Chains A and B, each alone.
Chain A
């Protein structure tokens, strides 16, 4: 420190200098601040969102499941003996879920709505609580009053049926009085993601009176168990499983609750995590380039300080403090915006998902994000500030190039800070193993880019220099430091942007394929065999109705393959969903029309032991071949069948598609429902058809697929918009980072351009030389960065997101475009822009 040698005096000098510098402002660091703010905002938002969602899911796990363990069966309830056995293990609650139609009022011609009906017992919920708008208790709301059972409904029921609290709805043969509006259902996510209507909650006793849960209906029976506090949970779950080993039921622990929701969330948060990491890398590189640029611009000021007697440490500390002030301001702005965004988005999302969440839960993550970014910035700034320490005042005043080479100790310090920050980010971001691999990939790419930069400098040194263009290119390329910095900053930016855009394109394609290409207008559920012929007759008599397909619809659970339990027989873990829960099942005498991958259909008159047709996903899950055997449960019974063929379904028709289809016997005569789909030429004919059907077959649930498709399209468009916004923010971060390198270059080359102009080089010649020089780094960075981005996106898309890699033409052209644009921008601004045009400005530069 300076002053009279004492620390206090040195501090006084430093404060005086700082006051003078801060009075002048820190606008010179605005590019740095923009890079930091964007990196902080983007990393902060994805980190807070990812962590918030994961923690909300974890904290709500038992509420989502509704117990410490849940047993689900379809079609038929558990045996009384099993229920009693479960009662002995812990406190139980029984819930029944099915789809049905709710009618406004009691008259047959009233408006109707497909609803997700849920009947609960008095013990419900074992964990959490149902939130009703009036604040009343759920048991009171569902109780029988004046001979009418109570129901609580989601707001959508009231809006779409134009009802108010106190009005009556009819479900099946029973009338319910709407007692309250439900704002939170603690176990909502356990119902899965495909809900065709709003929720209606009634009591279990009232459901029995409706007659809807009769044999053949698609009904899910869930029994949740809450264990006493000191229960050994794993043992208890095993005991539950042993009750009916061949029942084909689904036993879930809290960790397995809402598996499908978790999958969607994991996919989303993984994309967010990788985008955040890319923004972090691009932002830090931009921040490093921007501080390097700022220091390069202050070369002479720094030299003046040094020549005026300031020690190296004083000058370094002075600049470090200035960078820190700018960094803290940008960090506060970025993290603040991220936190505000996360509060709004998480609040909205958790409310929609019926999860308990408080903004206060974010506090530790906000601190961790800030610490991570501060560490990363410290690393980037230390690397850039080493230019202050290494600056030779004499060389700076003589226009010599100042040292940008990092001293080993500084490099280690900067490296450790960045590694620590990256480590924290990896641990904090969703899917740490994925983030670690992505970070390792980015580090590898950075290393390759540095080597390529060094290679360009080596090539530059050996270029012949007989012509002006060649000479200036050679001079521009031969210093390894700046060339490596440019190649690295540009390459990392292009890698991140290409990777995220290519991934976004693939996700967008995947999302778009969720919208069916050809969908029926109506799907009718729980149609009894006797009602199918009636519907067929109606449709054939009505010219405006068409495209009827009627198929038996049951649920199955695959238990074993070739005698090996399904869990052990699984060879493709990505297809584990085929054994998770109950899957669609049907029987048919005729071929379904699906493409056959292997094997043959059974003859139309086949009535031997059941044969099955497995969907391609089952084949991939177990490496299944025709001739293998499947053991599966249907309607509470267990069957073993030989696989006759493998089918391929395309999943984009919204017509019923089945994982397993069996030959007719013995299912043809078993009590089960049918699923019917049809199309209508106009809305009026469909309305008339539904009104007639509701009167003649009140048990049938009508699903308006047109509305579902509209809803799905809205969700998909929202998701696409979200990923596009993320890609756009990253593009902005990349653009800022790239401008930092361009501006740094222009600045460094201004004096050179002036000198060249003095000896008679035209603006065009200077620009052309600079363009050729920047094109070299631009091309190499674009090719290497683009290739790395594409490889990264392929890996993220196929390994983590598990969707097809469809980067699209834009992602292929993007790196080339970015490289070209950056090269042209750097070339033109470093050539045409380096020489001032205003009257008297060149003179000022020439005066020294």
Chain B
């Protein structure tokens, strides 16, 4: 591991609680976590343990309740929503189990979105290259509704890696896919992360997949357990 560069993710005693009529419901309870550049980390744990919430915090989608969360050198608690969104645009790609593609856009347009948002020239060419790398060079003009689940997820992967982010977050990316298709998606992600030196945090229930990562963190009832 390369400790010369600051960690990509550095969480200290992070807590997250959602309000409810009966009082706050704790989701994360004093989480400490450090992830370095290029590291591939699996996060496992039972349903409802707080895995997805951890991904949301790191992705700047959910503000923390207490503690400190540094992502790519920025203290997220000090950033407003716009700053967190711009961080995501520049440096973080996210893949969800439910794909979250824009329904009205083609595969190419979906994959090119982060590049277009960043104002990069040649966005479509770069997105085409990325889609070709994930095996969808022949499906560029198709909309999500015309793609299979595996294909939609590969578009989401291409979109996450298109802007060459320093961190990719994947929340159960194969949860909706069969084993064979899931394997193809994971291979693609591993390949892209390794080749670009991108840190990858992968939420999964699959022990075999977790075993292929550099490190595995287990979360139970909102805490990281050894």
Contact = CB atoms under 8 A, between A and B. Distances in A.
A573 interface: no
Contact of A848 (B81, B92, B97, B103): B97
B152 interface: yes
A842 B61 contact: yes
A833 to B, nearest CB: 14
Nearest to B56: A843
Contact of A755 (B86, B97, B102, B116): B102
B114 A401 contact: no
Given A400-B144, A751-B103, A843-B53, A468 B97 contact: no
Interface string B86-104: 1011101010111111111
B103 A754 contact: no
A10 B93 CA distance: 49
A652 interface: no
Interface string A817-848: 00000000000000000000001101100111
Nearest to A477: B104
Contacts, number: 115
A479 interface: yes
B89 A759 contact: yes
B49 interface: no
A842 B56 contact: yes
Given A398-B144, A471-B116, A765-B117, A760 B85 contact: yes
Interface string A448-474: 000000000000000001111001000
A438 B109 CA distance: 46
Nearest to A752: B102
Given A400-B143, A754-B100, A755-B101, A471 B109 contact: yes
A526 B52 CA distance: 97
Nearest to A392: B145
Contacts of A398: 144-145, 147, 149, 152
A379 to B, nearest CB: 29
Contacts of A542: none
Interface residues of A, number: 36
B113 interface: yes
Contact of A468 (B100, B117, B144): B117
B56 A759 contact: no
A759 B94 CA distance: 7
A399 B144 contact: yes
A758 interface: yes
Interface in A733-769: 751-752, 754-765
Contacts of B159: 759
A762 B62 contact: no
Nearest to B91: A760
A475 B53 contact: no
Interface string A370-413: 00000000000000000000001001001111000000000000
Contacts of A847: 52, 97-98
A478 B104 contact: yes
Given A479-B104, A760-B89, A847-B52, A467 B119 contact: yes
B158 to A, nearest CB: 12
B100 A839 contact: no
Contact of B98 (A467, A476, A848): A848
B98 to A, nearest CB: 3
Contacts of B98: 846-848
B21 interface: no
B82 interface: yes
B131 to A, nearest CB: 15
A762 B113 contact: no
Nearest to B100: A755
Nearest to B143: A400
B61 to A, nearest CB: 6
B102 A465 contact: no
A297 B123 CA distance: 33
A760 B117 contact: yes
Contact of A756 (B52, B62, B113): B113
A299 to B, nearest CB: 11
Contacts of B116: 466-468, 471
A756 B86 CA distance: 12
Contacts of B67: none
A819 to B, nearest CB: 24
A840 B62 contact: yes
B63 interface: yes
B61 A843 contact: yes
B201 to A, nearest CB: 15
Interface in B92-137: 92, 94, 96-105, 109, 113-114, 116-119, 123
Given A468-B117, A839-B19, A846-B96, 16 more contacts: A399-B145, A468-B113, A475-B104, A478-B104, A751-B103, A752-B104, A755-B101, A756-B113, A758-B88, A759-B89, A759-B113, A760-B88, A760-B118, A842-B56, A842-B61, A848-B97
25 contacts: A392-B145, A395-B145, A398-B147, A399-B101, A399-B145, A400-B143, A467-B119, A468-B116, A478-B104, A479-B104, A751-B100, A755-B100, A755-B102, A758-B88, A758-B94, A759-B89, A760-B88, A760-B89, A762-B82, A765-B117, A840-B62, A842-B61, A846-B61, A846-B98, A847-B52
Q: Which 4 A-B pairs have the closest CB atoms?
A: A400-B145, A760-B89, A848-B98, A840-B18
